[in-house]
Structure 1
């Protein structure tokens, strides 16, 4: 029997000797002889000695026990990833081998199931956003919004992107990085301090005939709902495109951006049945007005009929670097989040129109109950007055730091909201709280009791 040195790396000493002999080398070290000694690592890496399997499992368990079990915490942390109910049927369906292990469906004749699932996802996104065309998904919401800026620049042949400062700060960083690589100019427009929405006077000053796109988020990072119709009018007055990032669950209540003048609607599908998973992966969606369809990044699944008239599905409109010359590509996005798009499609299917509306309403009512109750506690206030969905900004008492509050809350099984001072220096001492349909009144009242206790 062969002597395997590693259980999961089935290469024997004889295999190694045979390969070295074939290429004319006497040892593995000889393969690295072209690397100068001056820059090669000398000695042994400072890592622990190998462990046998029982010892390794014991070590991993000890490390895991140091973590806080987030599933046993009451979470009020959002800021882009949310603790929503995930119907059990989703895990069952996506675990089926034909979906879970499927590769890119280049051969439609053997990939009809996956193609149909993606087509259904696209159809749902079009219904939610009131846009005529959606693609087969993006990496995440942040990537999708950055790609929206690139689409606008390519379509208008302009180099200026106007971005609201109320867009998620990490997404703005991604937009700036992407724009810098392509020589695009970024102009940021501030929000109204006592309102939480984009300052339309500053926006009107920032948009000009060199603007390719105005980029906003609604509900924005503070949870506030932007005045999209007014923003669309300002944008289109200069023949620029309006790109809007949305929380898809909010569209169970809010007028969809497609009916308010948006040209590009993107977002993250994570609220639609996708777990938080310590930050990802998630699934971005991307929908456009019909004239922009051929400039959309990624790919689209199209519906057609075969020679017998039977309905079928195919990949179409995939003008990516993988298929054409780079200078003619719409994007270098060469993949999509098919499995997570399936999560979103199953979620929307089983929840239905009424379920989405009821869930969105629960998010809104519970968040407003938490906000009004917290503002009634002496020392706390809700400083932003715009209508909001399921997130709101809470100003903490002057003597209570976020670090102290979050530590005390965690000790009581409560995961605090996001520290806004990390991203907005002027909002030091402010916390962004998310309240989803999973938070019961008892959960919210527990938070309120602790807030009052810590004043």
Structure 2
């Protein structure tokens, strides 16, 4: 972050230029509950650049670094090994400013990279066509709901209880402005998903059903019957995938009848990065392509018969008339999409399947080891690389105790669902190829001590 040495007269000059009376006027749209009541604790009111650098560096050293401790966090953001060649390639000058070209005919390399990315996403998701990426998985989920509304001309959406609560929160925020009715529910600590609820809720008024696969507890459901029921009611099935590596081992949503598949691509090629930037993936069927948000790079032949690439569709309000745009929050995350594509190319289909198998094997090993601890019960009967444990006591203080011992031991459901008593003992554990045997033992030891 740049150091900006602003004095009070500088602030007043800027406020006067934009017609604001005070700094507080800039935050009137932010709910009071979300605002700070005073200065950030531990930071001085003002200091020189050197002093600020030292203080912020000292604060940063208090963090547990993902790559330096046993790491079992997941719930939508996963630590996978990203080959050094990915970062080397995206740092090249011709790629570093990668973004959707506004003069596409002179940006053939950028368009080709987007075209290859789209092809990879479409194949991964089992769909006909994919766009050139979006902000992240949560906003892609909302865009899918909006797309289903345009197609079905209905505004009632049924959300699975297994959908990530942050994705639900984003959808609720946007629905305030569109009038969409979102039917939500909270998960239960059981091995079964809420498939029965979803099947019963689908009717002729539903626009879409949104299901996460695997869901927030790591459970994996066969979506084929749900897809049939949804289609019979004239609605669309939207499937959210937060862990792309899982699709190297389990069936793609498109194979099971999903109409729109969206998700987070961070798990391939993109580091954790404190929560961003990430890359949203979005794919659908051919017949719905003109309702798809974002941009679509296509392949063609020029006047000399040579292969070329074009920006076939661009439905963002920056490119076309605002009233014709499908969205204005669907920017192309060009550099992250490129990192995803390079990593996927390095893996290939065989490598992705092998990587997925390693993830699953290590997760099974960890689940077997942790359930040997007294009072620890495995909730998720079938899972990929993420599973939920029921602890004999509340999980949040257990997680804090483990972190004090240098182990990032998972995500407590109490953190994701603070007001639901039945979920407070739930702990979601993610295990990727980066986890070693000694890490699993360190987790088991730390968890055992925290529960003692």
Q: Normalization by structure 2: what TM-score?
A: 0.88
Do residues 408 (structure 1) and 401 (structure 2) align? yes
Structure 2 gap segments, 5+ residues each: 27-37
Q: Which residue of 1 aligns with 2:178?
A: 182
Asked which structure has the greater CA Rg, the reply is: 1
Contact 1:192 1:199 in 2 (8 A): no
Q: How does 1:434-449 map to 2 (within 5 A)?
A: 434-449=430-445
CA–CA distance in 2 between the matches of 1:403 and 1:213?
34
Give the match's secondary structure for 2:314.
coil
Detail structure 1 runs of 4+ shifted over 4 Å in the superposition. Answer: 6-9, 27-37, 189-193
Q: Take 2:273 and 2:76, find their aligned partners in 1: how far apart are those partners?
A: 13
Equivalent residues of 1:417, 1:432 under 8 A apart = yes
Residues 32-431 of structure 1 correspond to what in structure 2 (within 5 A)? 48-51=45-48, 53-189=49-185, 191=187, 193-200=189-196, 202-246=197-241, 247-333=243-329, 335-385=331-381, 387-398=382-393, 401-424=394-417, 425=420, 426-431=422-427
Return the offset for 1:172.
Answer: 0.7
**Aligned 8 A contact 1:273 1:347 in 2:** yes
Contact 1:380 1:397 in 2 (8 A): yes
Quick one: structure 1 residues 406 and 211, their matched pair in 2 at CA, closer, same or farther if it must change by over 3 Å? same
Comparing 179-188 and 162-171, the one that deviates more: 179-188
CA distance in 2, matches of 1:29, 1:329: 33
1:305-360 CA-partner distances (Å, limit 9, x unpaired): 11111111111211222233333221123521010000110011001111100111
Unaligned segments of structure 1, at least 5 residues = 1-5, 10-15, 17-26
The 1:103/1:29 distance shift into structure 2, 3 A limit, reads closer
Alpha-carbon spacing, 1:60–1:126, altered in 2? closer, same or farther (3 Å): same
SS of the aligned residue for 2:77 comes to coil
Aligned equivalents of 2:332, 2:314: Cα separation in 1: 11
CA deviation after TM superposition for structure 1 residue 40, in Å = 9.3
SS in 1 for 2:262: strand
CA contact (8 A) 1:161 1:214 kept: yes
CA–CA distance in 2 between the matches of 1:418 and 1:288? 31
Give the superposed CA RMSD: 2.7
Following superposition, the deviation at residue 450 of structure 1 comes to 2.6
Superposition deviation, residue 98 in structure 1: 1.1
Distance 1:147 1:437, change over 3 A: same
Give the whole-Å Cα distance in 1 for the aligned partners of 2:244 and 2:285. 18
Contact 1:302/1:316 (8 A) holds in 2:
yes
Q: Distance in 2 between the 1:230 and 1:40 partners?
A: 52
Deviation string, structure 1 residues 397-436 (Cα, Å, up to 9, x no partner): 23xx424322332233211211102333121111110001
Q: For residue 78 of structure 1, report the CA deviation from its aligned partner.
A: 0.5
Length-normalised TM-score, structure 1:
0.87
Instruction: Give the conservation status (yes or no) of the 8 Å contact 1:190–1:198.
Output: no
Contact 1:394 1:430 in 2 (8 A): yes
C-alpha change, 1:191 and 1:226, in structure 2 (3 Å) is: farther
Structure 2 distance, partners of 1:180, 1:337, is: 26
- Residue 234 of structure 2 aligns to a residue whose secondary structure is coil
How far apart are residue 71 of structure 1 and its match?
2.8
- Structure 1 residue 139: deviation in Å? 0.4
Q: Relative to structure 1, is the Cα distance of residues 171 and 334 closer, same or farther in structure 2, using a 3 angstrom cutoff? A: closer
Q: Could you tell which deviates more after superposition, 215-224 or 444-453?
A: 444-453
Aligned to 1:23: none
